[in-house]
Amino acid sequence: MSGLFGTDGVRGVANRDLTCDIAFKLGQAAGALLGDTIVIGKDTRKSGDMLEASVAAGVMSAGGTALLAGVIPTPAVAYLTRTLQCAGGIVVSASHNPPEYNGIKFFDAQGYKLTDFNEHRIEDYVYTCARGGIEHPFLDTLSPHTPQNSYELPVGARVGTARHVDDACDQYCAHIIDAITKQGISFKGLHIALDVGHGASTHTSCRTFEELGAQVSVINTDYNGCDINVNCGSTHLEPLRALMKETGADIGVAHDGDADRVILLAPDGREIDGDIMLAVCALDLKTRHLLQENTVVSTVMCNLGFVDAMKAAGIRVVQTQVGDRHILEEMLLHGYNIGAEQSGHMILFDYNSTGDGLMSAAQFIAAFIRSGMPLDKLIDVVQKYPQVLLNVPVAHKENLAQSAEIQDVIHNVEQQLANEGRVLVRASGTEPLVRVMIEARDVARAQELANRIGDVVKRTLS
């Protein structure tokens, strides 16, 4: 949607795009529109303290209670929102983005990401306040027709307060440990290599795996606010591969900055992405008669090899737009209990209401243990088509659909591929990029066709 919100909350360079003013108004909007008690978490970015304070002040200025969970994964905030019976949750994080970025995302009382309707309500609130004097680049894109509602703020005894949730990480870890132990599974004898990416999972993942019985070799647990996601974590797997080679670990686990996603590594170095995790976990659920409606939910970005694997197993695949929110909406609408994005966001609806990197890793490992198979063989269930993904920096991603030249080259490539592959070109919802994905039976062919489209996109939209 246009305006403040992208595909995953409000995001930008902290203190330039995403300022304390706008964070305050977003917090105030949450307190006024969602309800009186809001749990707030953050990742390890240097700007996190600043924006957390601003958001919390906004919640309190609306008369709400701000529960401060500190540095904690995004899915833990969704979990705590439900278990602490809060009116909503807020996470100060820019997920996998570089350290200078930050973001603010919201959960409703059930721990779900907000609907478009509620995002519009928050935008309307902020825009109304902006007419009272706050000026900000984000606000230039909001509709001039936004209603000028008036909101009366509380005074005196009705002003809100804040308090810390000292055991927030403890509660989240206990939830995951309980979910695995109830299956009769122990990780004893398993050696896990773990990269927490200088991010929010530094206080949760290692201790959880160890309490489940695993031996854990972990890197990047320290943080200085400027190293989150830098050459580490789920988007930079080289350090984890080196750790696995050094330690001889059985499986590698890598999180992004806020640990709402996870990418795994097999002992031979192969990447286990969201498609493979979804396939393995879905087959495990089907074997245990727990796969609701015999269906999994993925996105249009999933590999055709994943679709083939599910078809061979008699499992139906439903595909949505990119974004774990769209996956969740489909799951809620039809009662499905598992879905994932290739990027490593997996929603296990029996356990959490959003993408949960630690729960996903734990459930995958449980499925791996139950299978009795070597991991290298287990993941062969998905025979992937070669896939090339280009992230093309552009200045005007909003003009993608209107460019006849780009649409022509896409159509031409689709004709060349016919039924032997596919093309997906879309604007990023969180960055100034256009993503070009080509799948083909031959990787050199896929690279050639991706470059052809990428060159036109760059020339046309820069």
Q: Does 38 have pLDDT greater than 50? A: yes
Q: What is the pLDDT of residue 418?
A: 84
Q: What angle do CA 169, 55, 110 make, to 5 degrees?
A: 55
Task: Return the CATH superfamily for domain 387-461.
Answer: Alpha-D-phosphohexomutase, C-terminal domain (3.30.310.50)
Residues of the chain with CATH 3.40.120.10: 10-166, 188-259, 271-383
Fold exhibited by the domain 188-259:
Alpha-D-Glucose-1,6-Bisphosphate; Chain A, domain 3 (3.40.120)
Q: How far is CA 163 from CA 38, 40, 210, in A?
A: 11, 10, 30
In tens, the pLDDT along 202-215 reads 999 999 999 999 99
Nearest of 93, 100, 105 to residue 43 by alpha carbon: 93
The model's pLDDT over 153-163, given as tens digits with 9 standing for 90+, comes to: 899 999 999 99
Decide if 152 contacts 60 (C-beta within 8 A): no
pLDDT at 48 over 50: yes
DSSP-derived secondary structure for 245-286:
HHHT-SEEEEE-TTSS-EEEE-TTS-EE-HHHHHHHHHHHHH
49-70 confidence digits (pLDDT tens):
999 999 999 999 999 999 999 9
Spatial distance between the Cα atoms of 443 and 208, rounded to a whole number of angstroms: 39
Name the burial class of residue 158, with classes exposed (0-12), middle (13-18) and buried (19+) by CB atoms within 10 angstroms of its CB: exposed
DSSP letters of 123-173? HHHHHHHHTTT---GGGGGS-TT------PPP-GGGS--EEE-TTHHHHHH
Question: Is 271-383 CATH 3.40.720.10?
Answer: no
217 is catalytic: no
Task: Specify whether the CB–CB gap between 43 and 98 falls below 8 A.
Answer: no
122 token code pair: 């928050």
Q: pLDDT band at residue 130, thresholds of 50, 70 and 90?
A: low
Q: Say how many residues make up the chain.
A: 462
Structure confidence at residue 151 as a pLDDT band (50, 70, 90): low
State yes or no: pLDDT of 136 exceeds 50: no
Burial class from Cβ neighbours inside 10 Å (0-12, 13-18, 19+) for residue 246 reads: exposed
Reported as a pLDDT band with limits 50, 70 and 90, residue 147 is very low
Tell me the pLDDT band of 411, cut-offs 50, 70 and 90: very high
Cα 221 to Cα 36: distance, rounded to the nearest angstrom = 34
CA atoms within 13 A on the CB side of 306: 28
CB within 8 A of 30, min separation 6: which ones?
A: 38, 55, 58, 59, 62, 64, 88, 90, 106, 122
Cα–Cα distance measured from residue 38 to residue 40, given in angstroms and rounded to the nearest whole number: 6
Cβ–Cβ under 8 Å, residues 322 and 7: yes
CATH domain 10-166 topology: Alpha-D-Glucose-1,6-Bisphosphate; Chain A, domain 3 (3.40.120)
Active-site residue identified among 54, 93, 95, 343: 95
CA dihedral 452→453→457→460, nearest 10 degrees, is: 60
First to last CA, the chain: 22
Look at strands 262-265 and 271-272 and give their pairing.
antiparallel
Query: What is the three-class DSSP state of 423?
Result: strand
Give the phi and the psi of residue 219 in degrees, each rounded to 5: -130, 160
Q: For the chain, give the percent of residues with pLDDT over 70.
A: 95
What integer is the mean pLDDT of 360-376?
98
Distance, CA of 205 to CA of 211 (rounded, Å): 10
Task: State CA 409 to chain mean position distance.
Answer: 31
Q: Which of the listed ranges 67-76, 140-149, 419-428 does the model predict with the highest average pLDDT?
A: 67-76
DSSP secondary structure code for residue 336 in this structure? -
* Low-confidence winner among 2-11, 154-163, 232-241 (lowest mean pLDDT): 2-11
Range(s) for CATH 3.30.310.50 in the chain?
387-461
Name 288's Cβ contacts closer than 8 Å, sequence gap at least 6: none
- Confidence band (pLDDT; 50, 70, 90) for 133? very low
